Structure 1
Amino acid sequence: MMRILLFLGTNLAVIVVASITLRLLGVEGYLRGQGINFNALLIFCFIVGMAGSMISLFISKWMAKRSTGTVVIETPSNATEKWLLDTVAELSRDAGIKTPEVGIFPAQQSNAFATGWNKNDALVAVSAGLLNRMRPEEVRAVLAHEIGHVANGDMVTLALIQGVVNTFVMFFARVVAHLVDSFLKSRTDGAGLGFMGYFAVVIVAEIVFGIIASAIVAWFSRFREYRADAAGAQLAGSGAMINALARLKAETQMPDQMPDTLRAMAITKGQTKSLMERLFASHPPLDDRIRALKEAAYR
């Protein structure tokens, strides 16, 4: 129920922001009697596409805490929590960023994520399972990986890329619908697609272009994982980072308890087999990540 409410709330916010912005910019509707206004269409798609991505980014910490059940450590209640806070503070200082909020979420699978709208207002969280089964140096390496995401500005960059991709998916879907409508009008004495037909074509085209766009976003997501691994190796040591990834690989058969909205941020994803799985995976295979770290260590 919470996910449904968040989805509806986000989309309502997008509609409100887009409507106000378009009115302030004096942008009229992109469909006119004489054809399509491509400038107005591009502005419309950019505002709606970016608004959804940016709103999701700004509420990412709030969503993450509620969807994963993360409890932020305000005052440590035991030695483990104190060690977590001290370790994240040390790694953040070494990475040159403000110390993020630190939390623990109740999942038995070893996992961790980082999120937040900028590198000085972030959240780093680890699962209870990770703390229970990993050695301290391995936990430190996982934390360093997540700090690497924050320091690299991956959350912001991914949101911007998603916003641009959303823009062009919406734009080209409507161009395709307009072309189909114009073609049918030329063959049917002006009947065309009609209102419902036009939006049916838009939806189908958005699905097709959305699949292609997802592959682009997934490619960048995989690229940033290699960068975060490299940052983790630099902050915590190559050996510790490699051992942590090997430990995560051994647990990939456990049920994935991360919400869909945070799977791209979870460190354990990436055990894909088929070409299609690899194409749309948010994380590279853990074997490839381990290999990249070993190759970098021997250079």
Structure 2
Amino acid sequence: MLNVILSIVGVVFGINWGGMAGKSINLTSLSIYALIIGFTGSIFSLLTSKMIAKSTMGLQMIDIDNPSTNLEAWLVSTVRKLANRAKLPMPEVAIYEGDPNAFATGPSRSSSLVAVSTGLLQLMNKKEVEAVLGHEMTHVANGDMVTMTLVQGVMNTFVVFLSRVIGWAVDRQVMRNDSDAPGAAYYVTSLILDIVLGFLAGMVVAAFSRWREYHADAGSAMLTGSPENMIAALQRLGSITPEELPGPVKGFGVSGGIGSLFATHPSIEDRIAALRVLQK
């Protein structure tokens, strides 16, 4: 998104960001520019993920040293048990009002947050909730928040780099611009490719996210001792259509958008089929 905004600004004001598209193209400068633009947004999102979740989702944070209700005490005890099995520091734990779902977020394994919705607690029994928590703790154990940041940053970098290299080639080789400054073809081509390649990059990121979900389901089966409860939890989720989580955490919920190349989660049926293989 940042690279698209900069491209639009470049088109409107004729700004050649970094001075990389003159008569010759400076690939070193372009690479540095692409890396900075590619990773800035994703790293910022990672570092602020917990803060954004707390400020936008109405999380009711649980005092893990002094839970106030039996439900809170059970949640803290269950998360602590799973954290110990996964050899992880105890994360923050929260409940929020919403459709059945849960998510994990945070910039690192030692600074993570696990939250479950009231809808999920009402829909599932304790064994199923424990399986969902095992799924989320596996996301934390696998470092999925950091990995997704790196994948997104790498894809953004390639989008920025390729769009400008191709934009330069069109401007200089096709449109025969021989001035010192880049022509309109450079800006327009770069902008269009930022959008087109951005969509393709989004498909790659979504495919990687779906792959992570299979591993998180398998991790839940390992932490809880059996895939059966995770299968039961997914079957319950398959009977409803929960709302998607907000952007910063939607890739780390137990369920998410499905049915397209941009889906962050595989279909419930495919996830259950993969878990049944573990039963054999």
Relative to the length of structure 1, the TM-score reads: 0.83
**Contact 1:184/1:190, CA 8 A, preserved across alignment:** no
Residues 44-53 or 158-167, more deviating: 44-53
Aligned residue for 2:10? Answer: none
**Residue of structure 2 in register with 1:73 after alignment:** 62
Q: How many Å separate the matches in 1 of 2:276 and 2:44?
A: 38
1:203-282, aligned counterparts within 5 Å?
Answer: 203-236=191-224, 237-252=226-241, 254=242, 256=243, 258-272=245-259, 277=260, 279-282=261-264
Task: Give secondary structure in 2 for the equivalent of 1:116.
Answer: strand
1:199 paired residue number: 187
Contact 1:184 1:191 in 2 (8 A): no
RCO higher in structure (CA 8 A, sep ≥6): 2
Aligned pairs, number: 264
Q: Is the 8 A contact 1:185 1:191 kept in 2?
A: no
Amino-acid identity (%): 43
Matched residue SS, 1:125: strand
1:32 and 1:263 map into 2 onto residues whose CA distance is 37
Unmatched 5+ residue regions in structure 2? 7-16
Name the amino acid aligned to 2:190: V
Give 1:45 deviation, angstroms: 0.5
Alpha-carbon shift at residue 62 of structure 1 (Å): 0.6
1:41, 1:192 → 2: CA distance?
Answer: 16
Task: Give 1:3's aligned residue.
Answer: none
Which has the larger helix fraction? 1
DSSP 3-state at the match of 2:254: coil
Please give the root-mean-square deviation of Cα atoms over the aligned residues, in Å: 2.1
Q: Residues 200 and 33 from structure 1, CA distance in 2 versus in 1: closer, same or farther, beyond 3 angstroms?
A: closer
- AA aligned to 2:209 is S
Contact 2:23 2:178 in 1 (8 A): no
Pair 1:101 & 2:92 matched:
yes
* Helix, strand or coil at the partner of 2:32: helix
Counterpart of 1:133 in structure 2 is: 123
Q: Which runs of 5+ in 1 are unaligned?
A: 1-6, 16-27
Q: Take 1:257 and 1:212, find their aligned partners in 2: how far apart are those partners?
A: 22
Q: How does 1:123-202 map to 2 (within 5 A)?
A: 123-186=113-176, 194=183, 197-202=185-190
TM-score, length basis structure 2: 0.88
Structure 1 position 198, deviation (Å): 2.9
How many angstroms apart in 2 are the aligned matches of 1:211 and 1:39?
25
Cα displacement (A) at 1:67? 2.2
Whole-angstrom distance in 1 between the partners of 2:81 and 2:111: 16
